[in-house]
Amino acid sequence: MTDTVFVLNGPNLNLLGLREPEIYGSATLDDIAGMLEDRARDLNLSIDMRQSNHEGHLVDWLHEAQAVGARAVLLNAGGFTHTSIAIHDAIKAVKTPVIEVHLSNPHAREEFRHTSFVARAARGTVAGFGAVSYLVALEAAARI
């Protein structure tokens, strides 16, 4: 196992800071990456941060995380959270612990967001704390 934590981000997360800041906050994905890298150094971890609007990339990266022996994966699958059996199956197929991350609390939002195929396969979920959700998930990854 390496000391690398993959941080995988799904569709539309490249628009953080611009897209609905009243829901997702004003931090950009680069801001979040910087926060994670700073905290990861303190935890003797490294971050491999990625974003894609394509479902298959997320599946491939989950496979890669296992292949390289990543310590854990923090996964914000965005809208794929509620629709992707492929991502669910990829999480189940790998031994690398996956922690689901959300900026907002999906259960406090529209009904269709209440179902998470990611949560059904992930080790745990951190949601509703804005960018801090990623930091809480990183702390968990350091301890599992």
Residues involved in catalysis? 24, 102
Pairing of the two strands 4-9 and 46-51? parallel
Cα 142 to Cα 76, 91, 107, 108, 138: the distances in Å are 18, 19, 26, 28, 6
- Give phi and psi for 54, each to the nearest 5: -120, 125
